[in-house]
Amino acid sequence: MNELDVEHALSFLAALGAGLAIGIERERAKGEGVSRESAGVRSFAIAGLFGAVCASIGLPFALFGGGAVALFAFASYRRTAKDDPGLTTELALVLTYALGVLALANAQLAAAVAIIATILLDSKQWLHAFTRQTLSERELDDALILAASVLIVLPLLPDRALDPLGVINPRRLWLIAVLVMALNAAGYVAVRLLGARYGLAIAGFAGGFVSSTATHNSMGQRLAADPKLYHGCVAGALLSNVATMINLSLILAAVSRPLLAVFALPLAAAGVVAALGGLAFAWKAGREAGEDAPTADRPFRLWHALLFAGIVATALLASALARHWFGSGGVTIASALTGFADVHAAAVSLGQQIGTGLDAVQAEPALLAAFSTNSLMKCVAAFSGGGRRFGVPATLGQIAINVAAWGAYVFYAT
């Protein structure tokens, strides 16, 4: 048996497996008696094999076979429509035939789609309960807004700077707004699934890997929507800083091991302070919040996300103007200005300069300056999202984190 025969055989096995997987699930769901569904495990297995056979003969036969299976599915629906108007089994049968055809071209893809389809079919009770009892109309509206923001608006925006200074990129700014909406939604879902005890702390830590600044803003918005979540929101904001330390460590390990070596102590000190503060607030939230603590009335508010994107744009413009007026000859000044937008970008820039005229020891205070200006942006994000009640503790947390980082630097330098 040559390689082509083996590949052919695997394609037919994938077609049979797809039919059996979907067919077994449909057999269990088709019911009993006269009104039961016509198609069961054998019908689906044969439909999958039939698709593979027709595809192996040629395109005309594949089209003919598809029409035949569709007619059979239509006849089956006509027979059971009075008792069960659903089309799930009939559509699954047509899909099984199509998967048999697909298996001849891409067996792995056909198998993957079959597994996904089987999971969807088997999740009927859970999906129906979630749609009718769990998901509210406002949550659905916000989910559609988020999807439209990502799939429709984002691709249409130009991915280039439109201002003379070269910093206002509409697509990147809209991406920031989308990120804030997504982080808000993640925090909302975490609270609903895990409760206020742990949901916000976990969501904040995870959000920090994407953007700690945006996480501060989203946690502030969550607190503004539900004042009872004070400790959980502060915990989430503080723990997002821990994710920032981890991200910076990974970036420095990739671009400059020497800079990581000298910056490890400030990173560790800042991370420990952030972790201790975050865990303390999470513990406090766990003691005060019940599992049935109320959630906000909706996942996010679009205007909050747009406001935050506007603040970021203002900071970018201010940074660009400062560079234009004062120049960027000083590494520390340039890094500090970069930190207003992204501390990770400053870390990459400094790491790439190590060995090309810049020493790791000289780069350390420059990276700390970027770290501090980025912390300032987090404070602005916290105040803009949650007002004074959230902004003050978030700012105190940033002060403690920066004192730890700079203190470790001074201690190590002396």
pLDDT in tens, 248-297: 888 788 778 888 888 899 999 999 999 999 999 988 887 665 444 444 55
Residues in a beta bridge with 354: 358
End-to-end distance of the chain based on CA atoms, in angstroms? 74
Residue 400's CB: how many other CB atoms inside 10 A?
16
Query: Given the structure tokens 């009892």, which residue do they identify?
Result: 133
Sign of CA dihedral 132, 134, 135, 137: positive
User: Tokens representing 159?
Assistant: 């991915």
Low-confidence ranges of the chain (pLDDT < 50): 34, 290-295, 328-329
Q: What is d(CA 305, CA 181) in angstroms, rounded to the nearest whole number?
A: 6
Residue 250's CB: how many other CB atoms inside 10 A?
13
User: Tokens representing 75?
Assistant: 């006849």
Residue 129's CB: how many other CB atoms inside 10 A?
12
pLDDT for position 291: 44
Q: What is d(CA 349, CA 367) in angstroms, rounded to the nearest whole number?
A: 10
- Domain-by-domain residue ranges, the chain? 3-131, 136-413
Q: 283 Cβ partners below 8 Å, 6+ apart? A: none
pLDDT for position 205: 87
Q: What is d(CA 371, CA 365) in angstroms, rounded to the nearest whole number?
A: 10
pLDDT for position 112: 92
Query: Given the structure tokens 């972790």, which residue do they identify?
Result: 275
Q: Which amino acid is at 3?
A: E
